[in-house]
Structure 1
């Protein structure tokens, strides 16, 4: 064990705990325009057979994550607020060994990045008008986060921020809001506000700019939210030698994107009756990606039945379709998840997508899901899901990845998942999650090892 890295990791965790205690005291004692808060997230993660190959030296992962955040805001009146959030996350990898990692530089003891993942100013209802502005580093979630939630997919839920300007116009009399958002994402943490520990890490494979026009209406159809949107995304490659990215102490290859993507979509979320609810979202994408003409389509839906009983039992059925790239076409039909590269329905699949695309980059998919949710205890919710997964086409992102596919079938496999989510008090929450994947004939013979994911988490909040 490297004593210097261990000392840094311990110091970071100790400072996080100390800041959390201080912020808790300040939150209780503060008044007026100042607000403070903090949280500490502790995770233990076990993953079996990353890459679906049990013979790989890096197939099994066992590691801890320690993430602390300290935030504060100043609001001199109802129309102006400035806020910031400081984050630190360290890791310790028990498996794999550094000597087994395919790229030099893997840190089994990672001392953590220390930087601001929020630094923004809010101008609310400017001059008494329906217009509000938010400028700076901020979190943005649109709809269910299907296409817009994750601005920094490489760092694995450490952050999700966007560097953005967001204007919101609230037409209250019409039950409608309009958002116009400009995004400017750096491929790494090197821009202002730079990391306080001086270490620059990759956050995305490419530099990204974009514009989103998003409208939401709650009045046209009773009990229904209707959304419509237009998205533009420009990708400029970050050309590092061998496409090597480094984050969380782990160097790994991942190719950049280039080109211009346009997307137009609609979303509806409706309470049909006291027991039935339906939500559906569809989008068409066009433009250019990596010097090929893009034409892709996506659809995502969920039907929910609520028993309205003491345990709040619910059953749901999902269907999701993400077009795949037709290998016989000169164009590109592979769906691009835009800023939706996060574990929307599976923690385990985030680690398997690089067999054919990139981390968390879901595409080329047909997914059918049935699940059950129940409030099994006043503090605890149980979720159980089964997903049947298919590929839309026999294709991959790069020619080198084709060796991972069988060429004989389109069934990705059976995925089983269960969650226990608990909120014990205002200050303590946590969860246990387990997933198991039985791969299908879509994958090559040496990529059909069963795989599982298990995570335990505790969050302390002040």
Structure 2
């Protein structure tokens, strides 16, 4: 009987060891993979702030699916690829009212990530990433979005990035080279042959970025950015499913930017974030001299609901029509909905798609974790133009020219993460336009989006 128990015990122990070994082997497999599916329902009212326009109201669904894989040759060298597809269906506007629009749209099937990583090069704390990759510097104010025309479908850059970590001074140094094609026709092209615009011009640039974590209780950053814009003279294919109300002009020129950023805890409750940048160079055959400031003060209650209040001020210089220089702030690679989804659709009235510029923004907001799975965020923004003049002369008729107030903007989010696989959000925004816009472009506008994501 004892011998039988010993045999069972030995067998169980052997099975457990075998199972543990199998799990360990699986966990250390050089190949990992995953994916996600994102479903969005979107309602936008009065795009272009003109209720009489046939394209003013948008109701549509977006379905995006991605599949990724990563192979590690060893602990220092790996390669990653992610394959993506997004399709859309529009209920409004109807194609009979706006023939260029496609009610059903199937976009390209392509790799939005395809890069090689190398770490500990020559035994140094140096890493390199080469290929199509995502890059976010700081809060993404100036460097985050390489493909603004396709919305949130992709955020990638064709780039090479080297990062050196100087641990003895608590600082990392990044050197980044960017070469962004205006459309998706460059390798790796779409597998189904679709070629779509992703930005208005061919963009190349260099970024030098330093991040220190020891001088402050947080981050202290300094950077230099160079960006060259070369107009896309090839006839464009701006995705008709986006239905932009106005053209998004291309730029030509060379822009230089020098800036700094601090993100620090002042006390147990107070925190401050501030970033400032000066830009110079040339844009569209004019000398450029522009300035931007982005700041935010947070008060954390440190309570059970993680209540937080915040106040923000952002300034982006505008072009003075009485000056020979161009003073209009250039968002560089920061064209994404940093504080408003709705304004992405309204910026083309006096700028470019998602291209915030010529702005004074005052913001008050509150956030709280109302449930272990759920956050609520509420914000109010008061918006002014820094100059009573648009970014491009062709847009003069779209603004009044005799007032600076852009309007009152109210935004609200409910974000939830039910478990490691399922997350989602509901966002609603409402804009009450001011007299900065032309008289026929002052209709109230709203944006509503529901999102559900399944990740594995």
Report the TM range for the smaller structure's normalisation.
Answer: over 0.9
Indicate which of 145, 148, 153 corresponds to 1:153: 148
Q: Which residue of 2 aligns with 1:398?
A: 392
Figure out how many residues of one structure are paired with residues of the other and give that number. Answer: 430
Q: Which segments of 5 or more consecutive residues in structure 1 lack a partner in the other structure?
A: 1-27
SS at match of 1:180: strand
How far residue 127 of structure 1 moved from its aligned partner, in angstroms, is 2.9
User: Does the 8 Å contact 1:227/1:267 carry over to 2?
Assistant: yes
**Aligned 1:6-85 pairs, distance under 5 A:** 31-85=28-82
SS at match of 1:456: strand
User: Does the 8 Å contact 1:155/1:248 carry over to 2?
Assistant: no
Q: Which residue of 1 aligns with 2:187?
A: 192
How far residue 408 of structure 1 moved from its aligned partner, in angstroms, is 1.8
| CA–CA separation in structure 1 for the residues paired with 2:204 and 2:341 | 27
Indicate which of 157, 167, 173 corresponds to 1:162: 157
Deviation digits for residues 313-339 of structure 1 (CA, Å, limit 9, x no counterpart)? 000000000000001011100000000
Q: Which residue of 2 aligns with 1:433?
A: 427
**Aligned 1:265-304 pairs, distance under 5 A:** 265-304=259-298
Q: Which residue of 2 aligns with 1:451?
A: 445
Q: Which residue of 2 aligns with 1:8?
A: none
How far residue 97 of structure 1 moved from its aligned partner, in angstroms, is 1.3
How far residue 128 of structure 1 moved from its aligned partner, in angstroms, is 2.2
Does residue 125 in structure 1 map to residue 120 in structure 2? yes
How far residue 251 of structure 1 moved from its aligned partner, in angstroms, is 6.3
Deviation digits for residues 74-97 of structure 1 (CA, Å, limit 9, x no counterpart)? 002110010000000000011011
Structure 2 length-normalised TM: 0.93
Q: Which residue of 1 aligns with 2:299?
A: 305
| CA–CA separation in structure 1 for the residues paired with 2:389 and 2:30 | 55
How far residue 159 of structure 1 moved from its aligned partner, in angstroms, is 0.2
Deviation digits for residues 325-359 of structure 1 (CA, Å, limit 9, x no counterpart)? 00101110000000000000000000000001110
Q: Which segments of 5 or more consecutive residues in structure 2 lack a partner in the other structure?
A: 1-24
Indicate which of 339, 344, 348 corresponds to 1:354: 348
Does residue 373 in structure 1 map to residue 370 in structure 2? no
Does residue 260 in structure 1 map to residue 254 in structure 2? yes
Q: Which residue of 2 aligns with 1:135?
A: 130
User: Does the 8 Å contact 2:180/2:203 carry over to 1?
Assistant: yes
SS at match of 2:73: strand
SS at match of 1:98: coil
Q: 1:217 to 1:313 in 2, by over 3 A?
A: same
Q: Which residue of 1 aligns with 2:214?
A: 219
| CA–CA separation in structure 1 for the residues paired with 2:438 and 2:243 | 26
Q: Which residue of 2 aligns with 1:98?
A: 95
| CA–CA separation in structure 1 for the residues paired with 2:37 and 2:242 | 22
User: Does the 8 Å contact 2:107/2:194 carry over to 1?
Assistant: no
Deviation digits for residues 403-430 of structure 1 (CA, Å, limit 9, x no counterpart)? 1111221000000000000000000000
How far residue 240 of structure 1 moved from its aligned partner, in angstroms, is 4.2
Dislocated runs of 4+, deviation >3 Å? 28-31, 248-252
| CA–CA separation in structure 2 for the residues paired with 1:90 and 1:413 | 33
User: Does the 8 Å contact 2:195/2:237 carry over to 1?
Assistant: no
Q: 1:120 to 1:351 in 2, by over 3 A?
A: same
SS at match of 1:417: strand
